[in-house]
Amino acid sequence: RGIVQGGKSLAKKMNASVMMVSSLTKEAHRSKDGLLSTLRDSGAIEYEGDVVMFLDWETETETKAGVTAKLMIEKNRNGPKGTIMLTFLKEYCRFEPAAQHGRIDF
């Protein structure tokens, strides 16, 4: 059994959410096939994952409030896909909805 399947089994057994982190291939920003295809060893992640999200931010988008980031929901078995604009607050080490984009765009 692989790591992804083990994580999903653990989530079911513990009745809890399990978050797994993966790296992207170097071609992630150039891919025409979508972000799911750029996950390293993505077969199991694409197949087993109930929700697959990507977080992207650029340090040059830093504002007074913090760094603007995009949370892209590329797969969601039980809900919609879309993008959520966030602000990363360095001093608290957390993300919050971006003030000007405090809604989910689906």
pLDDT digits (tens, 9 = 90+) for 58-92: 666 676 667 888 898 988 999 999 999 888 888 88
Q: Mean pLDDT score of the chain, rounded to an integer?
A: 78
In 3D, which of 70, 61, 60 has the Cα closest to residue 97?
70
At 102, the pLDDT band (50, 70, 90 cuts) reads very low
Check pLDDT > 60 for residue 100: no
What is the identity of the amino acid at 92? Y
User: Span 5-12, mean pLDDT?
Assistant: 90
pLDDT at 33: 61
At 26, the pLDDT band (50, 70, 90 cuts) reads low
Q: What is the reported pTM?
A: 0.70
What is the SS3 string spanning 43-89?
HHHHHHCCEEEEEEEEEEEECCCCEEEEEEEEEECCCCCEEEEEEEE
Q: For residues 57 and 66, what is the distance between their CA atoms, to the nearest angstrom?
A: 11
Q: List phi, psi (to 5°) of 14.
A: -90, -5
pLDDT at 16: 93
